């Protein structure tokens, strides 16, 4: 997380106010009065399930989509009135790597540099810098089709930095990556933040927001329904829980111990023989419970502290799990309409 998180910010790099975007004759509201802002030099994580409106928000703020109503500025520039000027100061990396698989990594970056109107010499110089920065120099002359998922994402991110943007938008940058690839991408993003880049990051992963964001907004059904740091959001769903799995004949005693340590609110799942309760003292509660179990000669099958997961947060805030989906962009809405029409004709 950025070391700037505790600083008081007055300059807003990104402002969105009451954004509305509908499809299908107004029946689907991808954005429903969404309002957020990003302070200069910080990272805002936009957290939400599939279909919550995250990608639509990014598309509006990066001038790829015009909202039905509301206003938005990026670097003080109106995204609707002056989209060309906005594009000069931003970088965008979407959910899927926007690179040409038939070209090499080097050729892709040269192509992007030329599209940004860099001279041939400047495009080559910038490509060399970015390949080195993203640890892709050894693979520079290989076709993209030979790259791993993580390498493709790094190349796509490097392409979004061709013109050294002041503000960077990353739309679910680690979707589809394995744990190692995700860790590598996090390292790259952290280095950009240390360099002063302002970042708006959309993600489904609470851990990702944990690692990268100074502040988080939770979006669902096109609205911001909560905002705060990762720890603040977790506290809304009860903070940490002490969980102990024990033998069936030990459940009663384990329940008593957990009740003493946690101060009540104990839950027992007899099916999996698990006793759990929210705790405010974290590891101290865990150590005390383990000590009391040992004094009674009880050896639990499992014992630990659990922090709220993404699903815990969303079940608490929205009443459904993070995987629930609804159409979010125009293509999805139109596809749904075609499927519906075909069924009705049958």
Asked if 255 contacts 266 with a C-beta cutoff of 8 angstroms, the reply is: yes
Task: Report helix, strand or coil for 78.
Answer: strand
Angstrom distances, CA of residue 122 to CA of 49, 90, 149, 166: 40, 19, 28, 19
Alpha-carbon distance of 43 to 51, in angstroms, equals 22
Residue 309, phi then psi, degrees to nearest 5: -95, 175
Asked if 112 contacts 159 with a C-beta cutoff of 8 angstroms, the reply is: yes
pLDDT at 183: 87
Task: Report helix, strand or coil for 33.
Answer: strand
Question: What secondary structure does DSSP assign to 197-245, as a single string?
Answer: -EEEEEES-HHHHHHH-SEEEEEETTEEEEEE-HHHHHHHTTSEEEEEE
Asked if 258 contacts 221 with a C-beta cutoff of 8 angstroms, the reply is: no
Alpha-carbon distance of 37 to 331, in angstroms, equals 27
Alpha-carbon distance of 45 to 219, in angstroms, equals 10
Residue 63 buriedness (CB in 10 A; 0-12 / 13-18 / 19+): buried
Alpha-carbon distance of 65 to 58, in angstroms, equals 9
Q: Give pLDDT < 70 ranges for the chain.
A: 1-10, 97, 238, 309-311, 314, 318-346
Q: What is the value of pTM for the model shown?
A: 0.74
Residue-wise pLDDT tens digits, 64-119? 999 999 999 999 999 999 999 999 999 998 877 678 889 999 999 999 999 989 99
Task: Report helix, strand or coil for 189.
Answer: helix
pLDDT at 204: 80
Alpha-carbon distance of 18 to 36, in angstroms, equals 9
pLDDT at 127: 96
Alpha-carbon distance of 306 to 321, in angstroms, equals 18
- CATH code of domain 240-306: 3.30.70
Nearest CA to 34 out of 69, 66, 75, 10 is that of 69
Nearest CA to 87 out of 99, 77, 100, 97 is that of 77
Nearest CA to 271 out of 248, 249, 254 is that of 248
Radius of gyration for the alpha carbons in the chain, expressed in angstroms and rounded = 24
pLDDT at 288: 95
Residue 75 CB neighbour total at 10 angstroms: 18
pLDDT at 5: 46
CATH 3.40.50.300 positions along the chain are 11-235
DSSP conformational letter for 18: E
Alpha-carbon distance of 236 to 27, in angstroms, equals 32
- CATH code of domain 11-235: 3.40.50.300
pLDDT at 327: 41
Partners of 38 in the beta sheet? Answer: 14
CATH 3.30.70 positions along the chain are 240-306
């Amino acid at each position: 997380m950025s070391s700037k998180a505790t600083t008081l910010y007055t300059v807003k790099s990104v402002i969105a106010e009451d954004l509305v975007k509908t499809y299908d004759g107004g029946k689907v509201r991808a954005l429903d009065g969404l309002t957020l802002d990003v302070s200069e030099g910080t990272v805002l994580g936009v957290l939400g399930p599939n279909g919550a409106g995250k990608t639509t928000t990014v598309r509006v703020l990066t001038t790829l989509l015009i909202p039905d109503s509301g206003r938005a500025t990026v670097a003080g520039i109106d995204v609707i009135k002056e989209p060309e000027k906005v594009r000069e100061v931003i970088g965008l990396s979407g959910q899927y790597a926007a690179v040409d698989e038939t070209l090499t990594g080097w050729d892709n970056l040269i192509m992007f540099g030329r599209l940004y109107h860099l001279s041939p010499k400047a495009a080559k110089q910038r490509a060399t810098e970015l390949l080195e920065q993203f640890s892709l120099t050894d693979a520079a002359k290989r076709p993209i089709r030979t790259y791993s998922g993580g390498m493709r994402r790094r190349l796509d991110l490097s392409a979004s930095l061709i013109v050294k943007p002041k503000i960077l938008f990353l739309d679910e940058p680690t979707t589809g990556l394995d744990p190692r690839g995700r860790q590598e991408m996090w390292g790259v993003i952290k280095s950009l933040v240390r360099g002063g880049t302002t970042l708006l990051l959309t993600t489904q992963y609470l851990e990702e927001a944990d690692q990268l964001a100074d502040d988080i907004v939770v979006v669902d059904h096109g609205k911001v329904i909560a905002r705060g740091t990762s720890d603040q959001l977790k506290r809304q769903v009860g903070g940490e829980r002490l969980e102990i799995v024990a033998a069936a004949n030990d459940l009663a005693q384990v329940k008593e111990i957990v009740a003493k340590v946690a101060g009540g609110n104990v839950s027992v799942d007899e099916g999996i023989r698990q006793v759990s309760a929210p705790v405010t003292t974290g590891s101290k509660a865990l150590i005390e419970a383990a000590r009391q179990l040992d004094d009674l000669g009880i050896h639990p099958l499992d014992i630990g502290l659990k922090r709220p997961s993404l699903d815990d947060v969303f079940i608490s805030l929205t009443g459904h799990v993070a995987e629930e989906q609804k159409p979010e962009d125009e293509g999805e809405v139109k596809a749904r309409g075609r499927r519906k029409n075909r069924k009705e004709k049958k």
